[in-house]
Amino acid sequence: MATKASVSRRLRLVRQAAWFVLFLACSLLVFVVLNPYRPLTSGWVDLAGRMAVASAFLLAAFLSRRSERARPYWRVWYALATACIAISVDYELSLSKWILPALHIALESPAGLAIDKLESSALSILIVLLLILASGEGLASLYLRQGNLRLGLAVGLIALVVVIASAIPVTEGFFQGQNLRWARMLPWTPWVLIFVFANALNEELLFRGLFFGRLEPALGRFAVNLLMAIPFTLFHTGVGYTADVLIFFSMLFLLSLAWGWLLQKTDSLWGSALFHAAMDIPIVLGLFSNLQ
């Protein structure tokens, strides 16, 4: 016969599995269905859907916060609403269509792509920060804190050195790089750095900083990392900058787990953001090399 302890353990596992499936479905709704780059709907249906989803999550957060039993989950619902609002405002405003002409910079140029990414990422990050502060939580709840900075920077810098050393063959082999030479790539350096650091900080904040600390009490450390690696990987569905989709998504999933592990290990976002930025360099070099 099962002991009371074993029954309790099974019930706890069933409850965790149920929350895992629910939160996974919600995160897929935000990051895949309402993807700001490749949304599954368009026009007024897309706008209405974004407003409805964000409102539903805000209502869930409000009701959960007022309920003693559901109170541990209000921060998760609020995080989902925050992510939905951040990516949706960025998608709907698309400020680069005014900024780039004002600067007389073409979008299809290294400077144009970098500024477009910087604007998009900065707007998304700003919204996340403001909404989290408005909820009464501090920026430390987003892992924007020192933590084990030495370990985080060490891992990130090692990744950066390895990526730079192998940039040309990796970019040509996996990211459709064309005519890559150091003499051609060096003038792109400031635009590459702007692009990769803006993108990495934005994605690390949206997928890990915003959710890990809020989901861990309900699911545990490994389950949270696994859960957020799935929408992060699928968020990149439809990209056209890789020559081998299967290898790309396999590596992306494993890298997502590595970035999540580093965030948990260092208790800080900075190491995973640096590691992430380093791994984005071959992708950006491939994009720039194919510009006319």
Dump pLDDT digits (tens) for 68-101.
888 999 999 999 999 999 999 999 998 999 999 9
Residue 41 tokens read as 């709907």
At residue 238, does pLDDT exceed 90?
Answer: no
How many whole angstroms separate alpha carbon 170 and alpha carbon 193? 18
Amino acid at 135: S
Give the residue from 203, 190, 212, 180 showing the smallest Cα distance to 285.
180
Q: List pLDDT tens digits, range 113-171.
A: 999 999 999 999 999 999 999 999 999 999 999 999 999 999 999 999 999 999 999 99
How much is the pTM? 0.94
